[in-house]
Structure 1
Amino acid sequence: MKWSINKVTLIGLSSVLIGLIGTGIFAYRNLLQYQSRAERVTHTYQVIDTSEELLSTLKDAETGKRGYLLAGKVEYLQPYQDSLPKIRVLLKRLKQLTLDNASQQKTLAQMGTLIDAKLLEIAQTLKIYQKEGLNATLNFIKRDDGKRLMDNIRRLGEVIQKREEQLLIERIKSTQWIETQTNLTVAIALLGSVLYGGCMVLLQFNFLKRQRAENQAVEIEQHLQDRLQAIVDSAPVIIFLKDLEGKYLLVNRQFEIDTKISRDVAIGQTADAFSQKQSRGSGIEKSKSFYRRGLLLSMRK
């Protein structure tokens, strides 16, 4: 029964350990997926933020133009002048961020064309103002070319952002699902760890219990052997015990006295090993049958 309990414990321990290894692998795979999806979410936010920054920078350019036209002072052109290189950088960054999205690339190509046209329109407006004055400039502005260009740029910007927002929703849901799986996996791993620890405790408990039982059995056996030895030593007759092979397992004190054979020599030996030699050295005649049969052959007088 003890062996069966230990076997069941070992099987359970192995199963839990295998389960923990499998759970660890699954959790690691989920972690990699979560990291990848989280990076995609971050990437989507970058596209949205960059597109908003691009539109805001275009507005700064438009604001600089209007301030210059109203005030007639060159320093009002500073926002416009600062916006020109920044617009190119932001547009390039957007194209790089959306290399994996053909629809966004197509929309950005259209937006790039419109932005070029818008910047050209602003430059022409400033040039007319500087050469022909405010009235000619107002007539040029009334054509609404700049407004139409800016409206179209905003529309394309909204298209880009809506696509990214849809991607963002999908990617967040996917990330949340992986996060749920990961949390569940961690919970299973914790439960498995508890089971593993429980199996280890049970196995250790069984081992200690068996060890204590074995030690107690040895102590009891030794105690009984000592008691038996004391009893047979007190007997006035020769007493001995043999195993199936004829080897002495126990001899009493009277055996040592009559045979002149010490207990340490006799134990583990057969009668044939020393009967003839010992009989010749003894004051009392002994026969081989005395050593072989284990009979009570003599009484001490």
Structure 2
Amino acid sequence: MKTSFFNRPVAGFVLSIIFTVATSALSYFSVEKFYNSERWVDHTNTVRGKLELIISSMKDAETGQRGYLLTGNEKFLEPYNGAEKVTRAAFDTVKYLTSDNGAQQNEFKGLKEMIDSKYDLLENTISQKRLGGTISQDILLMGKSYMDRARIIVTRMESREEILLSTRLSTLNLYGTISLVSIIIAFLVSLTSTIYFYRRTMSDFEDRIRLEEQVKYETSAMEKKIARLKDVSERIGNGEYGIQVNPEDIK
């Protein structure tokens, strides 16, 4: 009886290798994509954090300015001092991180204008206060306008980053699932292969034992028949011509 291709140990071993390599390649691909997506998620979160820092540092500067304008006490300028440096550093970081995003890049010109105008106004009002001048309400409202317009631009940019984050999180979750499934499949293939070859090995071993037992039995029976025929031959050779031979003894 011919052995089926899929029942041959060598064929099963080859198929097992193919499945293992395929699932391992899939696992590598999905894990690589997972970490790449994770980096993009971190990238988006960094951009969002820097955008928030732009507004928060500008608010700190404004808070220090207002406190100083109300009291004339230089201590109130502590939030103001260094705020502009933080704002511009965050601005540069966001611009660099979004260099591949045309829509975001288009926002920087307007945002820079608002930042420049806001800090110029803050510096001018503080200088006027130090010189004993008075600050009109219109000047303060102008500063509020710069802040509001900057906030609108940043909010718009944050909205784009939120969309990107949602997409990248979906991609991250997808490749995370694929990675888990591919690892499970690889494990199951390896386990199935191990069980298969164990059973095939045990089956071949048992078949070999049965064959050896059968060969021993048949050899023993044949030796007995040969011994009986030899005995009959010797007796006939000794002149016992009337000896009867049982047909069963020579079957």
TM-score by length of 1: 0.72
Q: Which residue of 1 aligns with 2:156?
A: 159
Output the CA distance in 2 between the equivalents of 1:8 and 1:229. 40
**79-88 vs 150-159, which deviates more?**
79-88
Output the CA distance in 2 between the equivalents of 1:162 and 1:206. 65
- What are the Cα deviations for residues 109-136 of structure 1, in whole angstroms up to 9, with x where unaligned? 3212210111000000001111133xx2
Output the CA distance in 1 between the equivalents of 2:103 and 2:186. 43
Structure 1 residues 220 and 6: CA distance shift in structure 2, 3 A: farther
Structure 1 residues 176 and 7: CA distance shift in structure 2, 3 A: closer
Output the CA distance in 2 between the equivalents of 1:236 and 1:103. 110
Gaps of 5+ in 2: 241-251
- What are the Cα deviations for residues 29-59 of structure 1, in whole angstroms up to 9, with x where unaligned? 1111111111111111111111111211111
Do the aligned residues in 1 keep the contact of 2:37 with 2:168 (CA within 8 Å)?
A: yes
Q: Which residue of 2 aligns with 1:58?
A: 58
Do the aligned residues in 2 keep the contact of 1:6 with 1:206 (CA within 8 Å)?
A: no
Secondary structure in 2 aligned to 1:99? coil
Q: Which residue of 1 aligns with 2:90?
A: 90
- Which residue among 173, 181, 185 is the counterpart of 2:178? 181
Q: Which residue of 1 aligns with 2:198?
A: 201
Structure 2 residue 112 is matched with structure 1 residue 141: no
Tell which structure's C-alpha radius of gyration is larger: 1
Q: Which residue of 2 aligns with 1:36?
A: 36
Deviation of the 1:151 alpha carbon: 0.5
TM-score by length of 2: 0.85
Output the CA distance in 2 between the equivalents of 1:7 and 1:91. 64
Structure 2 residue 16 is matched with structure 1 residue 77: no
Do the aligned residues in 1 keep the contact of 2:72 with 2:129 (CA within 8 Å)?
A: no
**105-114 vs 9-18, which deviates more?**
9-18
Output the CA distance in 2 between the equivalents of 1:236 and 1:115. 123
Structure 1 residues 74 and 300: CA distance shift in structure 2, 3 A: farther
Do the aligned residues in 2 keep the contact of 1:6 with 1:203 (CA within 8 Å)?
A: no
Structure 2 counterpart of 1:137, which letter?
A: I
Do the aligned residues in 2 keep the contact of 1:34 with 1:178 (CA within 8 Å)?
A: yes
Deviation of the 1:12 alpha carbon: 3.7
Structure 1 counterpart of 2:167, which letter?
A: E
Do the aligned residues in 2 keep the contact of 1:60 with 1:83 (CA within 8 Å)?
A: yes
Bigger RCO (CA 8 Å, 6+ sep): 2
Do the aligned residues in 2 keep the contact of 1:125 with 1:140 (CA within 8 Å)?
A: no
Q: Which residue of 2 aligns with 1:227?
A: 224
Q: Which residue of 1 aligns with 2:48?
A: 48
Output the CA distance in 1 between the equivalents of 2:143 and 2:239. 139
Secondary structure in 2 aligned to 1:81? coil
Deviation of the 1:236 alpha carbon: 6.6
Q: Which residue of 2 aligns with 1:299?
A: 238
Structure 2 residue 124 is matched with structure 1 residue 124: yes
Structure 1 residues 222 and 177: CA distance shift in structure 2, 3 A: same
Output the CA distance in 2 between the equivalents of 1:228 and 1:54. 105
Deviation of the 1:232 alpha carbon: 5.1
Identity %: 25
**RMSD over equivalenced CA pairs, Å:** 2.4
Structure 1 residues 100 and 42: CA distance shift in structure 2, 3 A: same
Structure 1 counterpart of 2:51, which letter?
A: S
- What are the Cα deviations for residues 120-174 of structure 1, in whole angstroms up to 9, with x where unaligned? 00000001111133xx2135635x2211100000000101100000111111112
Secondary structure in 1 aligned to 2:106? helix
Structure 1 counterpart of 2:66, which letter?
A: R
